[in-house]
């Protein structure tokens, strides 16, 4: 039977050129996050279907690749619904598995625990350009650290990495869910409406201040509240001054510690940052995931329309699973987007490895062959990449191909 040649819908084969970039970025991530004390961990790609359907994943739970029960557990004839047939699924993110991992292994892990996870996740999204159904996620999380040292370290580690990949002039937007709420409360919105208000606020990027005002009014929120709310956004600046303004203006609605913490984070990162980027206080930053409880952040790059990473504090999630309240904060970078940007700009890996091709005439006698092999061994031992090939009839074409692959030095051996 003929094989289906294409990969399954929405997934892709990685060609050598892309893999070179991926491998390089992976190496750099492990190295850079390593200097910050993050430890690599891994969880299985398959998770219990119950864990994946626990309402932590929001919309992603609709996109699960589900796995059929096996052997005697599979009772096809009596199955009435999906749940009778399925016992696992491919993970759709790395955060739910991290929570399971932490609760399963907490006794063997240091506290706080700084975890680095790189792994594929799967979502049965509608396929579209640049978006795949299998993609690599790269998360760093600090579990058990309530202090905002966690935020500082996460932002420094992530931006140091991006700097090493020659990304410049990007912005890390930061906000705090508590500021979001205080601003809504101060303006006079009712608590039950907060989430809807934030959904509209989240469109600021696209529809602007006027658009947000219009939508809020259309939703029938009190005119006074809408005006007061909008005025705030006009007055708050995107820097430490903006944070201080919030602290003063929102007195009674916002704990001082929240504003002080944010100020501390911004001042610290600004003072010691390695990469060329701006840490910008952005009171319009919402981030969809409802599990965030404190700081939230997102990386914006002009080259790329949307976000290339983000994260925040989720102090309640792990506790929900384990029963043990555990402060947690994480930062995820968009690995696939970063690789795409690097590929698009023709990124050259800083790789000094010399590439040498040895062409061997067919029918080379044993003795001479051993000489060639010994030469190859010698060159490899000093770190060169050596390609041994049998000489082809069309040697010119063969040499062209090899030089395209980066083999700039080519030696020929005749029998």
Residue stretches of the annotated binding site: 93-95, 123, 137, 141, 287, 291-292
- Please list every residue from 351 through 370 that binds a copy of itself, using CB under 8 A: 353, 360, 362, 366, 369-370
Three-state SS annotation for 245-281: HHHHHCECCECHHHHHHHHHHHHHHHHHCCCCEEEEE
Among 58, 75, 104, 211, binds a copy of itself (CB under 8 A): 104
Residue 72 CA to residue 376 CA, distance in Å, equals 55
- Please list every residue from 215 through 254 that binds a copy of itself, using CB under 8 A: none
What SS3 class is residue 55?
A: coil
Distance from first CA to last CA of the chain, Å, rounded? 43
Interface with a copy of itself, residue 264, by CB under 8 A: yes
The phi, psi pair for 11, rounded to 5°, reads: -115, 160
Residue 242 CA to residue 284 CA, distance in Å, equals 12
The answer to whether 287 and 180 have CB atoms below 8 angstroms apart is: no
Stretch that binds a copy of itself, among 167-175, 224-232, 241-249, 268-276 (CB under 8 A): 268-276
65-99 burial, b at 16+ Cβ within 10 Å, e below that, comes to bbeebeeeeeeeeeeeeeeebbbbbbbbbbbbbbb
Among 321, 340, 347, 411, binds a copy of itself (CB under 8 A): 321
The answer to whether 413 and 368 have CB atoms below 8 angstroms apart is: yes
Interface with a copy of itself, residue 78, by CB under 8 A: no
Going by the annotation, the residues of the binding site for L-histidine are 93-95, 123, 137, 141, 287, 291-292
Cβ neighbour number for residue 132 with a 10 Å cutoff = 17
Residue 272 CA to residue 159 CA, distance in Å, equals 11
Stretch that binds a copy of itself, among 28-36, 183-191, 202-210, 280-288 (CB under 8 A): 28-36
Side by side, the strands of the sheet bearing 39-40 are 39-40, 113-122, 134-143, 328-333, 304-313, 295-301, 170-176, 277-281
- Please list every residue from 372 through 401 that binds a copy of itself, using CB under 8 A: 373-374, 376-377, 380-381, 383-390, 401
Interface with a copy of itself, residue 290, by CB under 8 A: no
In the complex, the smallest distance separating the C-beta of residue 56 from a copy of itself, rounded to whole angstroms, is: 9
Q: In the complex with a copy of itself, which residue's Cβ is closer, 152 or 185?
A: 152
Residues 6+ apart with CB under 8 A from 164: 28, 32, 275
Stretch that binds a copy of itself, among 39-47, 206-214, 222-230, 303-311 (CB under 8 A): 39-47
Among 122, 167, 198, 331, binds a copy of itself (CB under 8 A): 122
Among 28, 61, 66, 213, binds a copy of itself (CB under 8 A): 66
Residue 407 CA to residue 389 CA, distance in Å, equals 12
Q: In the complex with a copy of itself, which residue's Cβ is closer, 36 or 253?
A: 36
- Please list every residue from 181 through 210 that binds a copy of itself, using CB under 8 A: none
Interface with a copy of itself, residue 128, by CB under 8 A: no
- Please list every residue from 161 through 180 that binds a copy of itself, using CB under 8 A: none
In the complex, the smallest distance separating the C-beta of residue 202 from a copy of itself, rounded to whole angstroms, is: 27
Among 171, 238, 307, 322, binds a copy of itself (CB under 8 A): 322
The phi, psi pair for 121, rounded to 5°, reads: -130, 160
Interface with a copy of itself, residue 109, by CB under 8 A: yes
What SS3 class is residue 396?
A: helix
Interface with a copy of itself, residue 310, by CB under 8 A: no
The answer to whether 114 and 39 have CB atoms below 8 angstroms apart is: yes
Q: In the complex with a copy of itself, which residue's Cβ is closer, 35 or 128?
A: 35
In the complex, the smallest distance separating the C-beta of residue 7 from a copy of itself, rounded to whole angstroms, is: 5
- Interface with a copy of itself (CB under 8 A), residue total 107
Stretch that binds a copy of itself, among 36-44, 175-183, 299-307, 342-350 (CB under 8 A): 36-44
Among 206, 218, 252, 272, binds a copy of itself (CB under 8 A): 272
Interface with a copy of itself, residue 76, by CB under 8 A: yes
Residue 275 CA to residue 168 CA, distance in Å, equals 7
Stretch that binds a copy of itself, among 97-105, 240-248, 292-300, 335-343 (CB under 8 A): 97-105
Residue 120 CA to residue 14 CA, distance in Å, equals 13
What string marks each residue from 8 to 27 as x (binds a copy of itself by CB under 8 A) or -? x--xxxxxx--xx-xx---x
The candidate with the shortest Cα–Cα distance to 156, out of 143, 172, 138, is 172
């Amino acid at each position: 039977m003929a094989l289906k040649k294409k990969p399954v819908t929405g997934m892709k084969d990685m060609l050598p050129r892309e893999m070179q970039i991926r491998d390089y970025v992976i190496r750099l991530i492990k190295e850079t996050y390593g200097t910050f004390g993050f430890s690599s961990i891994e969880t299985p790609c398959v998770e219990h279907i119950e864990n994946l359907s626990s309402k932590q994943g929001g919309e992603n739970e609709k996109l699960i690749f589900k796995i059929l029960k096996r052997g005697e557990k599979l009772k096809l004839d009596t199955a009435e619904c999906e749940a009778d047939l399925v016992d696992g699924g491919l993970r759709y993110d790395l955060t739910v598995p991290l929570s399971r991992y932490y609760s399963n292994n907490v006794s063997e892990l240091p506290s706080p625990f700084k975890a680095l996870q790189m792994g594929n996740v799967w979502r049965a999204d509608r396929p579209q350009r640049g978006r795949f159904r299998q993609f690599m996620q790269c998360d760093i999380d600090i579990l058990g650290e309530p202090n905002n040292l966690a935020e500082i370290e996460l932002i420094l580690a992530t931006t140091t990495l991006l700097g090493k990949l020659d990304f410049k002039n990007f912005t890390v937007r930061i906000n705090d869910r508590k500021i979001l709420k205080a601003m809504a409360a101060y303006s006079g919105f009712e608590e039950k409406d907060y989430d809807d208000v934030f959904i509209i606020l989240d469109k600021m990027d696209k529809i602007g201040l006027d658009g947000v005002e219009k939508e809020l009014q259309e939703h029938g929120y009190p005119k006074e509240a809408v005006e007061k709310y909008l005025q705030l956004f006009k007055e708050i600046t995107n820097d430490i001054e903006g944070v201080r303004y919030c602290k003063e203006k929102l007195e009674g609605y916002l704990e001082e510690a929240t504003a002080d913490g944010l100020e501390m984070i911004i001042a610290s990162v600004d003072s010691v940052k390695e990469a060329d980027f701006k840490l910008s206080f952005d009171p319009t930053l919402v981030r969809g995931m409802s599990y965030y409880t404190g700081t939230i952040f997102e990386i914006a790059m002009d080259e790329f329309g949307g976000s290339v990473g983000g994260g925040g504090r989720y102090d309640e999630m792990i506790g929900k699973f384990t029963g043990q309240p555990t402060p947690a904060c994480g930062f995820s970078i968009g690995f696939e987007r970063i690789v795409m940007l690097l590929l698009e700009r023709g990124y050259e890996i800083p790789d000094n490895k010399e590439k040498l091709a040895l062409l061997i005439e067919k029918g080379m006698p044993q003795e001479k062959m051993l000489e060639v092999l010994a030469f190859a061994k010698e060159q490899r031992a000093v770190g060169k990449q050596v390609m041994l090939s049998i000489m082809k009839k069309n040697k010119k074409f063969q040499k062209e191909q090899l030089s395209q692959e980066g083999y700039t030095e080519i030696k020929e051996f005749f029998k």
